[in-house]
Amino acid sequence: MPRHILVFYGSYRRDRQGIKLARWIVEALNARGDSAELIDAKAIDLPMLDRRFSDYAPGEAPAAMAELAAKIAAADGYVFVTGEYNGGLQPGLKNLVDHYLDGFAWRPAAIASYSAGPFAGVRSATAWRTTLGAMGMIVTSTPLGLARIGGAFDADGNPAGEDGTRIARAFPRFADDLGWWIDAANAQRAAQAPPF
């Protein structure tokens, strides 16, 4: 049975580059036999956080928020594709996930980071590890980092050049790690309910 994986992306910038990486990850996961879906914060366009999904009475949350809550709760695992904004988290993606908490818990997450420069978003990935762990997710140990994203994909969205080749080579281990943890978490939830 394919694993259902949500791939979250959160840039709102006009000429956003990370969407190329997010779309490629969705395609690459689907090509492996999983069922991946892109969750684009800009497309969903939730307001700045005022009330979390759990703050609404059943049936009263805005439709887009309720639809995403159901997808989060039904997913087996997650990939967070994150760029580095001034050495930290992308505000659009952080705002999106802050609307939810309960649905993410007890599921694995993997982090794919990127940057325009040579450091591949490592500072953002480090910050996301803390955030996702605090939300109850198991964060996999295999990161996926892409430097110089502007030249890493061709016009068709395929990895190109040295950095694109590097990410394509690294992806199988990244996906294997996430898949292993998804299978382990699914088996554990089938055997025993989460403790809290």
* Per-residue model confidence as pLDDT tens digits over 153-193: 999 999 999 999 999 999 999 999 999 999 999 999 999 99
Q: Residues 6 or more apart from 177 whose CB is under 8 A from it?
A: 110, 140, 141, 142
Residue ranges for the chain with pLDDT beneath 70? none
pLDDT value of residue 82: 95
14-41 b/e (C-beta count within 10 Å ≥ 16 → b): eebbbbbbbbbbbebbeeeebebebbbb
The predicted structure's pLDDT at residue 116: 87
pTM of the predicted structure, to 2 decimals? 0.96
State the CATH class of domain 4-191. alpha beta
Q: How far apart are CA 175 and CA 187, in angstroms?
A: 18
Domain residue limits, the chain: 4-191
